[in-house]
Amino acid sequence: MRKKRCVLAFVMVLALTGCGPDVPDLSKLDNDMTGQYMADALLAHDKNYNDSLEYDHSVLEPTPEPTKKPAAKKPETSESPGTSESQGASAGSSGTSSEGGGATASGQGGEAAQQVSLSDLFGIPDVNVKPVTYRVKKSYGTAAVSHTAGDGKKLVVVEFRVSNNSPAGKNVNLMKQDVNAELVVDGQSMGKAIPSIIGNDLKFFKQRMSAGQKKQGILLFEVDDSLKVNNVQVNFTKGQSAASVSVK
């Protein structure tokens, strides 16, 4: 009998020891019943064990389940209604429009440019810039300074007249006006004027002119040697202003 009591005590100690964060606490009645059940199961096959442990199942209480912390909810992002639609509408209505009475053309940056006269585009009071004619050459300049077209190319030389219409002498500096020039032949763009070191290049024109004096200015354009040059036009742009001149 002492042996059975020792075994029972040992089993109960094993059953009631141990810990862990997920093991629930048992009630006192649950502990007693658990010990009795385990002892009965271990001693049932002992030939000297004739006692039968009995326990009332009706008094057993269910073991409480471990309490789990609810998972943290992710913050929901909200989008104001109509945001996408308003952005699309803004993007769709961002075109350019022309104001004023004059015709418009595409200026620098792709924005609408106001058409003005060539003299107004350069913007020097009492200084008039007017196209005269054009020539097609392989080389242009003087014996000291000249410009020759590359292989398979030729030059379109557009001549201008720069006039000082003021009653006094004037320093005429066209290079600081930041004017861009583009050659158009038969409605097709042939590219921008090429820089040169020729003294009367309109892109770098900087001279002292007396009252009423007129001087020649030129622009050089390089085109394919096979191009038939007709219907010559030069388009000028400066900021939001533009000027187009036809040259014969």
Query: What residues are paired with 240 via a beta bridge?
Result: none
Res 175: pLDDT: 86
124-170: pLDDT as tens digits: 999 999 999 999 999 999 888 999 999 999 999 999 999 999 999 99
- Which residue would you say has higher pLDDT here, 2 or 127? 127
34-73: pLDDT as tens digits: 666 666 666 556 655 555 445 454 554 555 555 655 565 5
Res 116: pLDDT: 96
- Which residue would you say has higher pLDDT here, 208 or 103? 208
- The confidence band for 232, taking pLDDT boundaries of 50, 70 and 90, is very high
With a cut of 70, say whether residue 88 has pLDDT above it: no
Share the mean pLDDT of the chain: 75
Is residue 150 helix, strand or coil? Answer: coil
104-122: pLDDT as tens digits: 455 555 567 899 999 999 9
For 83, phi and psi rounded to 5 degrees? Answer: -65, -50
188-205: pLDDT as tens digits: 999 999 998 898 999 999
User: How many helices (H) and strands (E) in the chain?
Assistant: 4, 13
CA atoms of 109 and 240, how far apart (whole Å): 9
**DSSP structural state of residue 144:** S
With a cut of 50, say whether residue 173 has pLDDT above it: yes
Measured over the CA atoms of residue 227, residue 229, residue 233 and residue 234, the dihedral's sign is positive
Q: 104-247 in CATH: which number?
A: 2.60.40
Tokens of 147: 């410009």
Question: Structural domain boundaries of the chain?
Answer: 2-59, 104-247
How far, in Å, are 47, 59, 181, 193 from residue 163 at the CA level?
Answer: 135, 120, 19, 22
12-26: pLDDT as tens digits: 555 555 444 454 555
Kindly report the pTM of this predicted structure.
0.56
Centre a 10 Å sphere on the Cβ of residue 117 and count the other Cβ atoms it contains.
13
DSSP letters, 13-49, are HHHH----TTPPPPPHHHHHHHHHHHHHHHHTT-TT-
Asked if 236 contacts 183 with a C-beta cutoff of 8 angstroms, the reply is no
